[in-house]
Structure 1
């Protein structure tokens, strides 16, 4: 048995506590009935993701389940799906007000009031592969720029960015040339839609859960919101017939955000645990999407693959470079981001295979 620690007079601290307890009992027998540690209530957060239930099973739920298991009585996070508590476009304001405590989404979709929000989601041709996103944030300085931008906004803390799947068209009718894009009504992200409209695409905004029915009723001609993995996972492959192998971005860029006051209230161990779980989510998506995109192109039986010839698709990529320059002109900070993207693009090009081909 370990000897109880003693003070300078040789009296054990345990004996001191017993004596203190007797004194307290004389004053009021109920004061020591429940130690303070048990009086502390469990911290509870409400976190809403951009994803519907089937997709959330992969992109966030495993990491939140792990957090809750480890945090135990100290903290629990309640996970809500797309538009379940708040419409996606209102998530940022709801988080500022404290209606919800945290969000997983892209800056673009939640209408984050920062100039860099345009780079969230699918910024055209910013990435070729999913690994480009964490490299840009952690090795090329985007993390510091995002922290700077959100540091100017009251009430919301940006926490971490990661990569999701590439942006492809899944459509009812085949796309085999740029002409086939004209008049195409598609569900897509704000900035992606802004860019694709240059080729005659008509962006349509709907609640996520209404997309499948909108395709069935003819309100939508297709979807430019994901890669083939999500098309199969969420049921969109059941209502569309074709998948265009050309994409306008190699990876969606999404982030985690939290109400600043609630984030700062967390003890350091829970902040660390949450960061570890974000990293776990980022890692899971890297292999789930990368493997799924290839496997379903080869083995998937629901969608027929189509391709716009590379020489014709080059027009889209060239137009994207003009779009970049337009965005760079919006602010000093967007100019810095665009320059980083250009520098990165050049490094990857010079590095050659497997970083870039052609």
Structure 2
């Protein structure tokens, strides 16, 4: 029988051995997840539309995950973002569907779809309450890409070297804009031009471009375009740019649940930042900005552009069943907002 004395003696010898064995066993370190994300925005704009959110994500994620952020065209041209993400060359993207040339039925609605929205809050409502999220999710899932979250940016205005006071003044103007917005405005004589984002400022200075219809006045000042253009047209082609976060489906599915949730919170934070940053900037710079003079096309003349937008919607709706479904949602939403009246819509 083991006596108490013998037990203590044996235990005294065994304990250090057990302890040594326990502490000598190396811990299995979990490898840190690393993503590469490219945004459509250049460095100055990215400081507002994406970088604060990604910095917060990395801070909270700590040793679990890190997202390395790249700016417009740094890894691949913006027009190749979708393919690069689909292949896994890039893990995630912040862009509109139109600019990154997504091969989906909903691509035409990304960026500035003419007059689909009047205010920035229209975009999240359309996606979260009127069914666009489900349509976008289905379209991208077919192609191995996860549509993560959509949000709004600024309205679409013309910033030009020469004043625009009538529709006639738009004729022949070479303008950098989004594909669908350019397609729509070409019926009024606008000549859409596609160039790398970082070349725009110089192209205006050299005369290659007569203007820009890529943003509101906040971005014009932020990225330096207000320094090379003289006039800002207060009429807008659309009330808010619609953009999204996307990810390679396999890479997204590999994330543990807590990082998926953190990613969602990060995107919501980014959306919220843009809501107030743009809304305040658009008003303040119109009133207090000194670099651009405001011009306006009379309402009765601009009504021709608004009427043409609904005809354009019908043309797009005829292209496919999915496009028709999206257009019907836009029509339903805008009709209801008009009926709701102030502050949702002004007649």
Q: Compute the TM-score of the two structures, normalised by the length of structure 2.
A: 0.94
Q: Deviations over 1:280-338 (max 9, x none)?
A: 00000000000000000000000000000000000001111110001101111110110
Q: Which residue of 1 aligns with 2:107?
A: 117
Q: Does 2:44 match 1:51? A: no
Q: Which residue of 1 aligns with 2:75?
A: 85
Q: Does 2:34 match 1:41? A: no
- Alpha-carbon distance in structure 1 between the residues aligned to 2:289 and 2:25: 63
Q: Deviations over 1:152-185 (max 9, x none)?
A: 21x2111110000000000000000000111100
Q: Which residue of 2 aligns with 1:215?
A: 204
Q: Which residue of 2 aligns with 1:187?
A: 176
- Alpha-carbon distance in structure 2 between the residues aligned to 1:150 and 1:235: 34
Matched ranges for 1:115-154 at <5 A: 115-153=105-143
Q: CA RMSD in A?
A: 1.6
| Count of aligned pairs | 334
- Alpha-carbon distance in structure 1 between the residues aligned to 2:141 and 2:187: 33
Q: Moved runs in structure 1, 4+ residues, more than 2 A?
A: 21-25
Shift of 1:24: 10
Q: Does 2:260 match 1:271? A: yes
Q: Which residue of 1 aligns with 2:8?
A: none
SS of the aligned residue for 2:235 comes to: coil
SS of the aligned residue for 1:73 comes to: coil
Shift of 1:41: 1.5
Shift of 1:33: 3.4
Shift of 1:146: 0.8
The unaligned stretches of length 5 or more in structure 2 are 1-10
- Alpha-carbon distance in structure 2 between the residues aligned to 1:157 and 1:24: 48
Shift of 1:23: 11
Q: Compute the TM-score of the two structures, normalised by the length of structure 1.
A: 0.91
- Of 234, 244, 249, the residue aligned with 1:260 is 249
Q: Deviations over 1:242-301 (max 9, x none)?
A: 000000100000000001111011000000000000000000000000000000000000
SS of the aligned residue for 1:240 comes to: coil
- Alpha-carbon distance in structure 1 between the residues aligned to 2:141 and 2:85: 15
Matched ranges for 1:165-184 at <5 A: 165-184=154-173
- Alpha-carbon distance in structure 2 between the residues aligned to 1:166 and 1:44: 34
